[in-house]
Amino acid sequence: MDGTVIRTEGLTKLYGKSRGIIGVDFEVRAGEIFGFLGPNGAGKTTTIRLLLDFIRPTSGSAELFGLDSRKGSVAIHRRTGYLPGELALYEKMTGADLARFFANLRGGVDWSYVDELAQRLDSDLSVPIRSLSRGNKQKVGLIQALMHGPELLILDEPTAGLDPLIQQEFYRIIEACREEGRTAFVSSHNLHEVERLCDRVGIIREGRLVDVEEISAIKQRALHHLEIHFAAAPPPETLSGIPGLRDLRMEGETLYCTIQGSMDALVKAIARYEVSNILSYETPLEDIFLAYYGEGENDAQ
């Protein structure tokens, strides 16, 4: 393996006349949190099921840890923690029973870590699963995915049903996994979650991969809308030649403008003048993501 944990080439799944995914190519690097972003029905879950050999591709291939997803599925599953988007647990078991069941299948479980996860996620593992709310079942699902310290986490909508405080704790847990050199593939339609958590993101729409980008690169495309109040209006040439600066309008001693990318050159240019106030707001990353989706989406499976 060359530092790539997941690699797909031309991965395609067709459901009769319906579209699943078509020609999906991407790589996930060791030690990164990779977001897989798309609206419901875009093909995120189909992709995950293909990676884990739960369904077979129409064409194309997937490798995990350098192993073919079909031929090496048993070894891949031992090294992977998986949370399905449609979580189905053994309702008659308690959370602790379920943890022991999966521990017997996988081995390598540190029970002190299980206790730590239960505490951090505020999960009572002694309670029968059938009596748990959706959010509390999701916590049990997360614990079973994390508890054996897998090299790779594949998580489908991991924060569904979780309250905001538990979501934040989950983010901290996944970030700690990254610091340990582990890898996470996080499928989500939650734009804030992807921005908060991921290093890179693949964006899928109607079964096709639209783009793969660094989150930092996407943020660089964000527009900063500025309102700068001067004690006295500076000469017009003060702001000439500043990269990314546009839509300049001076009204009295107040400058209105928009800048894309770094504001360093602008800050240096106005530093020679007395500034009484600066108001700024940034185009939400959500708007940039939504531009990939466009209008008139059709449902994919």
Give me the residue label for tokens 């916590």: 139
Asked whether this chain's domains 4-218 and 223-282 adopt the same fold, the reply is no
- Report the pLDDT value the prediction gives residue 16, as an integer from 0 to 100: 81
- Please report how the helices 164-179 and 111-120 are oriented relative to each other, as an axis angle in degrees rounded to 10: 140
CA distance 288 to 262: 17
Backbone conformation region of residue 175, classed left if phi is above 0, alpha if psi is from -120 to 50, else beta: alpha
CA distance 42 to 174: 24
CA distance 247 to 145: 50
Q: Could you give the 3-state DSSP secondary structure of residue 85? A: coil
pLDDT values of the chain reduced to their tens digit, one per residue, 301 residues: 569 999 999 999 998 877 799 999 999 999 999 999 988 888 999 999 999 999 999 999 999 999 999 999 999 999 999 999 988 888 999 999 999 999 998 878 899 999 999 999 999 999 999 999 999 999 999 999 999 999 999 999 999 999 999 999 999 999 999 999 999 999 988 878 888 899 999 999 999 999 999 988 877 777 889 999 999 999 988 888 898 898 999 999 999 999 987 788 999 999 999 999 999 887 766 677 777 666 444 433 3
Q: Compute CA distances 22 → 45, 127, 156, 300, whole Å.
A: 14, 43, 20, 11
Q: Compute CA distances 125 → 78, 84, 129, 130, 176, whole Å.
A: 23, 19, 9, 12, 23
Each domain of the chain, given as residue ranges in start order, spans 4-218, 223-282
- Please report how the helices 134-146 and 164-179 are oriented relative to each other, as an axis angle in degrees rounded to 10: 10
Q: Could you give the 3-state DSSP secondary structure of residue 238? A: helix
Q: Which of 88, 167, 173, 99 has its CA nearest to residue 134?
A: 88
Q: What angle do CA 86, 88, 93 make, to 5 degrees?
A: 155
CATH number for the domain formed by residue range(s) 4-218: 3.40.50.300
- Report the pLDDT value the prediction gives residue 25, as an integer from 0 to 100: 98
For domain 223-282, the question of CATH label 1.10.3470 is answered with no
- Report the pLDDT value the prediction gives residue 286, as an integer from 0 to 100: 67
- Report the pLDDT value the prediction gives residue 296, as an integer from 0 to 100: 41
Q: Could you give the 3-state DSSP secondary structure of residue 43? A: coil
CA distance 232 to 172: 47
CA distance 36 to 154: 10
Identify residue 105 by its one-letter amino acid code: L
What the block records as the tokens of 108 is 């390598």
